[in-house]
Amino acid sequence: MRYLCFYFQVHQPYRLRTYRFFDIGKRHFYYDDYNNRITMQRVAERCYLPMNNLMLKKIEELGNKIKFAISFSGTAIEQMEVYAPYALESFKKLVATGNVEVLAETYSHSVSSLMNKDAFKMEVAEHKRLMKEIFNVRPKTFHNTELIYSNEIGADVAEMGFDLMLTEGAKHVLGWKSPNYLYVNAINPKMKVMLRNWKMSDEITLKFAHETFKVEDFVNWLNSIPKEEEIVNIFFDYETFGEGLDASTGIFDFMKYLPDAVMKYTDFKLVTPHQIVEKLQPTGVFDAPIPLSCRDEERDLSNWMGNDMQDDALATLYGCFKKVKASKDEELMRDWRALQAAENFAAMCTKHQGGTPYDYYINYMNILTDFINRMK
Amino acid sequence: MRVLMFGWEFPPHITGGLGTACFGMTKGLAKNGVEVLFVVPKAHGDEDQTNVRLLNASDVTVDIDHETERSYWDRVQYMEIGSNIIPYVGPEQYATMFEEQRHATRGFHSSVFAPRYEFSGKYGANLMEEVARYALIGSSLATKYDFDVIHAHDWLTYSAGIAAKETTGKPLVVHMHATEFDRSGENINTDVYAIERRGMEAADLVITVSDWTRNIVIEKYGINPDKVITVHNAVEPSDKSLDEYERSGLKNKVVTFLGRITFQKGPEYFVEAAYKILQVDPSIHFVMAGTGDLLQKMIKRVAQLKIGANFHFTGFLKGNDVDQMFAMTDVFVMPSISEPFGIVPLEAMRLKVPVVISKQSGVSEVVEHALKVDFWDINGLADAIYGICKYKAVNEIFRKEGKEEVDNLKWEYAAKKIKNVYELAINLR
């Protein structure tokens, strides 16, 4: 018996409004409400509702044979509560079946794990509280923003009481090793590490857009994996269904027929990440002294940090963590969380074509100046 | 007396000092009893019309709010010539902008940092051809009207001025608002230089906006000093007071740079001075308002110095936003490397904002109540800014005296001098 594990990310950041110098000190509202609302409602209609309904139906049909995991960011839940409460209800129903493992992550989809250990801990604690409140669950598996991972981060997460962490099966770290095994953290061997099979995950998300990727292709691929390799982890954004990939590509049908085909034609069983820890023994150490992520060809951090604008913005933001924490002001805390979203720093990245990184930096720094000003 | 003036943009579509100066000057001339035939290049939307559109000055969207001023405007006749030529743009940049607009697709991202110019496909894609075409229309226009003197502003209209002089035999006055050396440093465009020199040589008299510019004209263009006369620019007194605007929401001092972010304006010196000041007082905030080819470089430098939380960019400001910016400003800084005149400090002073200006600017010749430093002296610049921020006495004096000083620099007086130049040009015949 071998294991196939699907996990999905549900995340929406708060998009920021145009915030001018003239607003500093006068207007403390930072968000593009309209954009946030229509985006959430569109994604709810196109992805969350149809995909949840599909999965609920599959669970009804197949019972315990179908399992998977979802990671919800806190900012996605918050916006769902306000703009699309029906979508949140649907997710609650899905989680209540018991077939879905809810993963732990940072509340704001932040890169706090790289910046400040206390801020990171706070992010995780707040997320944990929210998952308890919304879904009445205590997540046991940790998945960091964009699968960012290093030996040190893994050890930090172990300290927070988790025994399994998910990350990218990055080629430059794995070398000749296969991602299809259970590993342990290099500092704390009690922390297990499960690796995303990026090749197959990307295959689904990228290939589907251009050509028809059939259920048979997936099944054939599973059967071609050497028999001794034990687990396959597929991970991508939940929004891929219906939003990233339009329903007309057939992505919903793919997910509809996939579980049955896997059960019928392969020796793989669908499980949640934490079930693996209970079933399998780790085979070796995953040694990542330098942080990695699931982004870009390089699988490094350059999407969020490294250029002067990103570094200035990050240093300024995390430089005021102590003051924010000491303020115990709920409004400040809310803004603090929203401003931490990794997307803010990705938008300042100058590696890619398009976008307006300079404008974004200016706008973000104006907001940050106002934010800091409020704590004086 | 009647003058045929080849001028530039009128409010509210003003993108820089040249438009503001032409506007103030025309108003001042009208007050001095001079009639003005005001000709401007403008790309129209309705392409099938004739080349020249005649408008009553009162139809032009200017702020003619005072009944008394309305009568002066009767002396101004306003004409638009369909053309793509725009101020402040050299041949290379013109070609780039033209291409950019031509290829502008859905993916082209226009941000708040770029003022929009309208280009029309009907006109030339090459600036030099366009200048020649403009001259042709200008000269044929000149034969249809009666006037005593021709007045052309900046090199793009010099060819039109010369053509009008050749067809009518009327005296020509050219007005140097900026030289190619101010725009490009030592790496000048020789075609532009040639047109500037030809214009000044063909002119009966040359007006320069400062002695700084007069010296350049004499030394670098070899123009006979006897025919070059300095008439400093002026500024319209503002009837607005600071109370009409929002004050800064920051609890700290705000230091502002406002202008095109280009080599000529010395934005780098402002950023470096800001960094020095922040080492001593991290509470002060700096604003760079405007846009230009050095904007990205400035943003990068600010990020590299890690002063982004205290250094803000506003993008291009116009109209009311400019005064709004001044209302939020404690010190205005103009560190220009070579500034023929530089009207912005005067606009700041009339709203009671103390200013620091470079000695390499024409405006430093006419104002007393300002701190003047060499543009390259970053320490001196930092000292001056810090001093005004911190020491109340200087600050108070500059606010009060500066305003009074500027209120006396009226266009009415400057226009009187220009009228004298016209009379001299006519009498030289």
Task: For an interface test with A, give the residue of B256, B297, B306, B325 to mutate (most A CBs within 10 A).
Answer: B306
φ, ψ of residue A71 to 5 degrees: the values are -115, 120
| B310: three-class secondary structure by DSSP | coil
Of B249, B310, B311, the CB nearest to A26: B249
Q: How many C-beta atoms lie closer than 10 Å to residue A18's C-beta? A: 11
Q: Identify the band that residue A283 occupies on the pLDDT scale cut at 50, 70 and 90.
A: very high
Evaluate whether residue A298 is within a structural domain: no
Last residue of a domain, one of A255, A286, A317: A286
Tell whether A303 is covered by a domain.
no
Most confident of A36-40, A197-201, B55-59, B247-251: A36-40
Residue finishing a domain among A254, A286, A318? A286
The rounded distance, in Å, linking the Cα atoms of B169 and B162 is 10
Q: Which residue of A has its CA nearest to B304?
A: A308
Total residue count of chain B as it appears in this document: 429
User: Would you state the torsion angle of the CA atoms of residues B156, B159, B165, B171, taken in this order, to the nearest 10 degrees?
Assistant: 40
The reported pLDDT for the residue numbered A281 is 93
Quick check: B258 contacting A, CB < 8 Å? no
What does DSSP say about strands A164-168 and A141-143: parallel, antiparallel, or unpaired?
A: parallel
A41 within a domain of the structure (yes/no): yes
User: Considering only A329-333, B55-59, B195-199, B289-293, which range has the smallest mean pLDDT?
Assistant: B55-59
Q: What is the pLDDT of residue B121?
A: 47
pLDDT at position B282 is 94
Confidence of residue B119 (pLDDT cuts 50, 70, 90): very low
Number of A:B CB contacts under 8 A?
81
End position of a domain, from candidates A286, A320, A342 = A286
Confidence of residue B61 (pLDDT cuts 50, 70, 90): very low
CB B239 within 8 A of CB B68: no
B111 with A24: Cβ contact below 8 A? no
Q: Are residues A204 and A322 in the same domain?
A: no
Asked if B113 has any chain A CB less than 8 Å from its own CB, the reply is yes
Give the pLDDT of residue B51.
44
pLDDT tens-digit series, residues B177-200: 999 998 887 788 898 999 999 999
Residues 6+ apart with CB under 8 A from B304: A308, A312
The pLDDT value given to residue B131: 81
Closest CA to B192 of B80, B85, B117: B85
Segment A346-353 mean pLDDT: 89
Helices B267-280 + B295-304 axis angle, to 10: 20
Token code pair at residue A247: 């329903």
- pLDDT at residue A292 is higher than 50: yes
Residues of chain A positioned with their CB less than 8 A from the CB of B302: 312
Q: Which two tokens stand for residue B58?
A: 């009162």
- Residue B22 CB-half CA count within 13 A: 33
Q: How far is CA A38 from CA A268, B211, B397, in A?
A: 40, 60, 54
User: Do B173 and B254 lie in a common domain?
Assistant: no
Q: Could you tell me if A147 and A271 lie in one domain? A: yes
Residues 219-248, chain B, touching A (beta carbon < 8 A): 246, 248
User: Which of A124-138, A215-229, B48-62, B206-220 is least confident?
Assistant: B48-62
Residues A314 and A271 in one domain: no
Together in a domain, B417 and B395:
no
User: What is the number of structural domains in chain A?
Assistant: 2
pLDDT digits over A138-149, tens only?
Answer: 999 999 999 999
Question: C-alpha angle with apex B58: B53 to B62, nearest 5 degrees?
Answer: 100
Q: Which of A94, A55, A50 is nearest to A270 (CA)?
A: A55
Share of chain B above pLDDT 70, in %: 79
Residues 319-338 of B with CB under 8 A from A: 321, 324-325, 328
Q: Which range has the worst mean pLDDT, A250-254, A358-362, B15-19? A: B15-19
Residue A376: count other Cβ atoms within 10 Å of its Cβ.
Answer: 9
Residues A169 and A271 both lie in one domain = yes
* Residue-number span of the structural domain to which A344 is assigned: 308-374
Does A359 lie at the interface with B, CB-CB under 8 angstroms?
Answer: yes
**Chain B closest-CA separation from residue A307 CA (Å):** 9
Asked whether residue B229 falls in the same domain as residue B263, the answer is no
Our CA angle for A349, A351, A354, nearest 5°, is 80
The answer to whether residues A246 and A361 belong to one domain is: no
Structural contact between residues A111 and A305, judged by C-beta atoms closer than 8 angstroms: yes
Judge: A25–B296 Cβ closer than 8 Å, yes or no.
no
Dist CA B331 CA B371 (whole Å): 11
Say what the pLDDT of residue A105 is. 97
Locate B24 and state its tokens: 């103030």
Probe site for chain B from A22, A348, A359 (most B CB atoms < 10 A): A22
More confident site: B206 or A376: B206
Same domain, A334 and A190: no
> Which residue has 């009666």 as its token pair?
B146
**What is the model's pLDDT at position B326?**
94
Q: What is the pLDDT of residues A13-70, one digit of tens each?
A: 999 999 999 999 999 999 999 999 999 999 999 999 999 999 999 999 999 999 999 9
pLDDT band at A330 (very low <50, low <70, confident <90, very high): very high
- The per-residue pLDDT for B38 is 84
Could you tell me if A168 and A293 are in contact, meaning their C-beta atoms sit under 8 angstroms apart?
A: yes
Pick the range with the lowest mean pLDDT from B99-108, B121-130, B159-168: B99-108
Report yes or no: A29 at the B interface, CB cutoff 8 Å: no
DSSP 8-state assignment for residue B239: -
Q: What is the pLDDT of residue A235?
A: 95
Q: Given a cut of 90, is residue A355 above it in pLDDT?
A: no
Count H helices and E strands in chain B, helices first.
15, 14
Choice between A157 and B78, residue whose per-residue pLDDT is larger: A157
The domain that holds A10 is classified in CATH as: 3.20.110.20
Are A98 and A235 in a shared domain? Answer: yes
Question: Looking at the predicted structure, is the pLDDT value of residue B59 above 50?
Answer: no
> Do A338 and A213 sit in the same domain of this protein?
no
- pLDDT (tens digit, 9 = 90+) per residue, B368-415? 999 999 999 999 999 999 999 988 888 888 888 998 999 889 999 999
Choice between B177 and B124, residue whose per-residue pLDDT is larger: B177
Chain B nearest-CA distance from A309, in A, is 5
Q: Does residue A318 lie within any of the structural domains?
A: yes
- Sorting pLDDT into bands at 50, 70 and 90, what band is B124? low
Q: Which of B67, B68, B42 is nearest to B53 (CA)?
A: B42
Same-domain pairing of B358 and B414: no
- At B11 the pLDDT is 60
Question: Where would I find the H helices in chain A?
Answer: 33-43, 49-62, 74-83, 85-96, 112-115, 117-135, 151-159, 171-174, 198-202, 208-210, 215-224, 251-265, 273-279, 308-319, 321-327, 330-339, 342-346, 357-374
CA distance B392 to chain A (A): 24
Chain B residues closer than 8 Å to A309 by CB: 299-300, 303, 308
If one counts the domains in chain B, the total is 2
Concatenating the DSSP letter of every residue in B48-66 gives TS-SEEEEEGGGS------
Q: Do the domain assignments include residue A49?
A: yes
Query: Do A11 and A139 fall within a single domain?
Result: yes
| A 314-353 residues inside an 8 A Cβ radius of B | 315-316
In a domain, A38, yes or no: yes
Nearest to A314 by CA among A341, A269, A345: A345
Alpha-helical segments (H) within B169-290: 180-184, 190-202, 211-221, 267-280
Active site residue A330: no
Q: Where does the pLDDT of residue B128 fall: very low under 50, low under 70, confident under 90, or very high at 90 and above?
A: confident
- Comparing B8-22, B287-301, B332-346, the range with the smallest average pLDDT is B8-22
Asked if B107's CB is within 8 angstroms of A312's CB, the reply is no
User: Shortest Cα distance from A362 to chain B (angstroms)?
Assistant: 6
With a cut of 80, say whether residue B232 has pLDDT above it: yes
- Sheet arrangement for strand B371-373: B311-315, B285-289, B254-258, B331-334, B355-358, B371-373
Structure confidence at residue B48 (pLDDT)? 36
Identify the CA nearest to B341 among candidates B389, B411, B271.
B411
Looking at the predicted structure, is the pLDDT value of residue B70 above 70?
no
Whether A183 and A195 have beta carbons less than 8 Å apart is answered as yes
Cα separation, B273 vs B382, whole angstroms: 5
Kindly report which listed range (A45-54, A56-65, A331-340, B93-102) carries the lowest average pLDDT score. B93-102
Domain co-membership, A361 together with A226: no
Residues A89 and A144 reside in one and the same domain: yes
**Is A291 within a domain?**
no
pLDDT at residue B97, rounded to an integer: 65
Handedness of CA A79, A82, A87, A93 (dihedral sign): positive
Task: Indicate which CATH number applies to the domain containing B313.
Answer: 3.40.50.2000
B236 has a pLDDT exceeding 90: no
Domain match, B246 and B228 both: no
Confidence of residue B49 (pLDDT cuts 50, 70, 90): very low
**Helices A85-96, A74-83: inter-axial angle, 10-degree rounding:** 120
Co-location of A188 and A42 in the same domain: yes
Choosing from A146, A230, A243, A343, the catalytic residue is A146
Q: Dig out the tokens for A75 from the structure.
A: 């900012």
> Whose CA is closest to A55, among A15, A98, A4, A1?
A98
Contacts of B114 in chain A (CB under 8 A): none
Q: Which domain holds residue B275?
A: 242-407
Whether residue B150 is predicted with pLDDT greater than 60 in this model: the reply is yes
Count of CB atoms situated within 10 Å of the CB of A135? 20
Per-residue pLDDT at B127 exceeds 90: no
Which range is least confidently modeled, A18-22, B42-46, B86-90, B341-345? B42-46
Per residue in B284-295, pLDDT (tens digit) is 999 999 999 899
Q: Is residue A98 included in any domain, yes or no?
A: yes
ipTM, 2 dp? 0.80
- Pairwise pLDDT comparison (A127 vs A207), residue with the higher score: A127
